[in-house]
Amino acid sequence: MFVKRMNGKFVQTWKIPHMIKGALTWLPPFNAWRSRRASTGGSDSARYCYSAWLRHLVLLSNYGFKINNSRVGELGPGDSIGIGLAALLSGAAQYVGLEERTSTALSQVPHPHPR
């Protein structure tokens, strides 16, 4: 923690860049630029992902689908695996997300079994 004394008060200098970045989001041009550069095309909301999964689960249960110990595949999860995590929390044994592009943040995670 870097602390400087300014005008008789102590300031934690590590906070300054974060405060400036936060303040810039209140200016419309910077906020528009930030929203265009947002990395997630998916949802960052656990509530949304879980409710979307439950809607699918209710629809599938009308046709006799049981989630316990089933395998769930998702086509095009993007960089949000919230639906897959909701499936696993609901009792699925396995989740596989099939993505066409490898430019997502998840592709940066090293695979535990190199080929």
- Tens digits of residue pLDDT in 38-75: 655 557 788 888 999 999 999 999 999 999 999 999 98
Task: For helices 46-61 and 82-89, give the axis angle rounded to 10 degrees.
Answer: 60
Residue listed under structure tokens 């923690």: 1
Query: Is residue 94's pLDDT more than 70?
Result: yes
Name the band, by pLDDT with cuts 50, 70 and 90, for residue 20: confident
Closest by CA to 104, choosing from 74, 67, 66, is: 74
Which pLDDT does position 78 carry in this prediction? Answer: 76
Which pLDDT does position 58 carry in this prediction? Answer: 94
What whole-number percentage of the chain has pLDDT above 90?
32
